[in-house]
Every structure is written in C-alpha cells, then in structure tokens.
Amino acid sequence: MSNIRQKIKEEIAADNYKGAERLLEELRRNNPSDFTIDLLTELISLYLKENRLHEAIDLLSSEEKRFEKVPLFYRTFSGVYRTLGDKKQAIHYINKAINIEPNNPLWRTSLGLTYWLFSDVEKAIETTKETLKYIQDEDSLEAIMIKNNLAYYYAQAGLNKEEAMKYATFCYERRDREDLGQQRKAHILDTYGYVIMKFAQKSEDIDKAIILFKEAIKEGIPSEAGDAHIEEAEKKRESLKN
C-alpha cells in the first residue's frame, strides 16, 4: 500500500495526472478497503483539474454509503458543487459535515466560504462570526485563518472597520509562523492590504496596501487577483483626492 501511495505522489509531482488517476482508480476497483478518504479526495481533485465535474459527482455518489460518517467526504462533495456553481447543493453537503461534527470550526468556516463564493457576504459574515465560538485555542492555525476570512468579509462589505482591522492585524502579526505555509501567508498579506485599502482615508494607506498586494503576489496569490486589488487601490486613491 505504501508503494502505491508513493507512486501516486510521484505521478502527481511529475504532472502526470492521468497516471495518478489510473493508479487510484485501479486501487479503488481492486482493493476498495484500501481506498481511504484521503485517496478519494485526491482522485476528486484530479478530476477537478481536468474539469471532469460530473464524473466527480458520480464517484462521490457511489461512495457515499461507505463514507457517510466522514465529514471530509461531505466537504469534498460540497466543493465539487461549488465548482459547478450549484449554491443549494454546496450548502446542503457542507451542512452534512457540520451535522456530523457540529463543534468543529473547520466545517463552519467552509460554510462561510461557500456563502462568500456565491456572493452572499452577509451570510458569510454571520456564519464565520458564529464559527469563532468553536475555537479552542485563540492562537491556533484555524483561529488565524477564520479571523483572516472574517476580516476580508467585513472589508468587502464595508462593515465593522475596527473588528476588520483587529482581525487582519492579528493575522498579519503571525504571518511568519512556520505552520502557516506560503499560500496561507500570501492570503494573510492580501487580506491585510485589502482591509487597509477598503477603509483608507489617506494616500499613505493606499501606498501601504499596494506594497502588501505585491508581497502577496510574490508569495503565491494569483497575479490576476493581486493585480485586481492593486487596480482597485489606485481607483480608491483617485477617489480620496476628490
């Protein structure tokens, strides 16, 4: 089993997604008891890379009975429906994960993100704010990412400046933690810049935000997202002059 896992990792590292899919599908077919939830989610992620969304839905539907008590299974199901643009089903499945582990903030954070992705910022704020009640360690990695999301949502809605800045600053001050990883650090930099930009009252705030956006791009934020924020910041600068 360990050899198969290693081969799958090697195929993915070599960008040979078809090879990895073949190994995973053979394992599922020939040794279903060894086809664990992490391997299922890996196969789903490969299907998504190739836009095989309906095949992903069919695969998850066929495996639901076996993984019906595993919340990660339902978060994965929700993620596929998010990609399909089906808000109702995406929310339905992430709520199934919450029903299995109601005190786990991870699933509630995913629900908040789902609302946000479907442009329901008010519900994203409401859900993510509620999630704070389930944090056990205020300085944990999950606490940092929940507060980072909430800061971004507040800023996008133009609400709760003090809370948005407090949470964004909290995360920014912890950006160099080793357990964050580069991608999360990039999101923290981007959020901090976004909050500063959205509530900016002087040109110096815009300068600071743009520096943060550029750092976020270097750390791994998609350049189109970072560039869009820089463009928005420049427009905000012009509005401050009037």
Q: Which residue has the tokens 């999360």?
A: 184
Taking only the tens of pLDDT, the chain with its 242 residues reads 568 788 888 888 888 889 899 989 988 998 888 899 999 999 999 999 999 999 999 999 999 999 999 999 999 999 999 999 999 999 999 999 999 999 999 999 999 999 999 999 999 999 999 999 999 999 999 999 999 999 999 999 999 999 999 999 999 999 999 899 999 999 999 999 999 999 999 999 999 999 999 999 999 999 999 999 999 999 999 999 87
According to the model, what pLDDT value does residue 17 have? 86
3-state SS assignment for residue 120 = coil
Tokens of 152: 């971004």
Cβ contacts of 142 within 8 Å, gap of 6 or more: 105, 106, 109, 135
Q: Give me the helix-helix angle, 223-241 and 203-219, nearest 10°.
A: 180
Tokens of 28: 């599922």
According to the model, what pLDDT value does residue 220 have? 94
Q: Give me the helix-helix angle, 141-157 and 161-172, nearest 10°.
A: 140
In a domain, 188, yes or no: yes
Q: Are 67 and 48 in contact (CB under 8 A)?
A: no
In a domain, 160, yes or no: yes
In a domain, 82, yes or no: no
Radius of gyration of the chain (CA): 20
Structural domain for 203, as ranges:
135-242
Tokens of 153: 């949502």
According to the model, what pLDDT value does residue 7 have? 86
Note the pTM of the prediction, 2 decimals.
0.90
Q: Are 211 and 179 in contact (CB under 8 A)?
A: no
User: In 3D, which of 203, 200, 181 has the Cα closest to residue 192?
Assistant: 200
201-239: string of b/e by CB count within 10 Å (b at 16+)? Answer: eeeebbebbbebbbbbbebbbeeeebeebbebbeebbee
In a domain, 191, yes or no: yes
CATH of the domain at 152: 1.25.40
In a domain, 60, yes or no: no
Q: Is 117 exposed, middle or buried (0-12, 13-18, 19+ CB in 10 A)?
A: middle
In a domain, 163, yes or no: yes
In a domain, 31, yes or no: no
According to the model, what pLDDT value does residue 13 have? 85
In a domain, 231, yes or no: yes
User: In 3D, which of 198, 204, 194, 199 has the Cα closest to residue 226?
Assistant: 194
| 3-state percent breakdown (helix, strand, coil) of the chain, nearest 5 | 80, 0, 20
- Count how many domains the chain has: 1
**DSSP string across 53-116:** HHHHHHHHHHHTTTTTT-HHHHHHHHHHHHHHT-HHHHHHHHHHHHHHSTT-HHHHHHHHHHHH
Q: Are 20 and 8 in contact (CB under 8 A)?
A: yes
